[in-house]
Homo-oligomer: A and B are copies of this chain.
């Protein structure tokens, strides 16, 4: 077996390869044995063995000659979400925030230095359904979203620097912050204000306001936000009313989490 040490723990090459198979099946929406073998530089018989094992374990299904991820992933994903503290305590608040603002409301957390969407709800006038549905299916960078910046603002600076080292500061629009010092200064002002904005930094014409959700001991758990067209998120509403609404929602979620922790130790 071809393994190598990572820190103190070894990595299992065969397991890593199996994860690559899963990733390839998702990216290509189903592959044949030959295509998979070529994509991952495996022998055909080896590719077949990976697929066969994942199929026996019900993570993969075969349709005709192609292999696809099974609906087991939907079960696993829903299970992960239902147990997530932010979903448990934040879902109803996000529902209400979408209703109050009429725009898209989002709940997310950081995992592996990337933004992970946990839950999203379109309000009555929400724009970008297709976009947000597409985003839901892949992680995104943290430095150009209001939620991502709200989270970054409450991580240790060494962690922020390490995330930027890993992923860089990809430019999405002319307003994206692509300089580390500028980002660190922005994070400082987010901490002072209590909320973050995405001022057309991801998409031209779209703004967002996000606030961090923190545990009782100050650790950042994720963030909540509202996004919408710049023509509606402007003036007083953008600079005052909406930030207060979003921070209130973060606070309500935090309080719910803290009460649940407290009731466990009653």
Contacts and interface: CB of A to CB of B under 8 A. Distances in A.
Interface in A27-77: 29, 45, 48-54, 56-59, 61, 68-77
B231 A12 contact: no
B53 A15 contact: yes
A11 interface: yes
Nearest to A136: B78
Contact of A70 (B29, B45, B112, B204): B112
A178 interface: no
Nearest to A246: B231
A68 B80 contact: yes
A231 B205 contact: no
A168 interface: no
Given A19-B57, A112-B58, A203-B262, A12 B70 contact: no
Interface string A169-205: 0001100000000000000000000000000001111
Contacts of A258: 203-206
Interface string A67-107: 01111111111111111100000000000000000000000
A73 B77 contact: yes
A72 B21 CA distance: 15
A154 interface: no
Q: How many copies does the complex hold?
A: 4
A1 B3 CA distance: 12
Given A12-B50, A71-B80, A231-B247, A252 B59 contact: no
A112 B15 CA distance: 23
Given A15-B14, A259-B206, A127 B49 contact: no
A186 to B, nearest CB: 21
A10 B52 contact: yes
Given A251-B231, A255-B205, A262-B203, A82 B3 contact: no
21 contacts: A6-B52, A12-B18, A14-B18, A15-B15, A15-B49, A19-B53, A68-B80, A71-B118, A72-B116, A127-B259, A131-B260, A131-B262, A203-B255, A203-B259, A205-B251, A205-B254, A205-B255, A229-B251, A230-B251, A231-B250, A231-B251
Given A3-B49, A73-B79, 18 more contacts: A1-B1, A6-B56, A9-B48, A9-B49, A11-B49, A15-B18, A15-B57, A19-B53, A61-B112, A68-B83, A71-B109, A71-B117, A74-B78, A75-B139, A128-B259, A135-B263, A172-B262, A231-B252
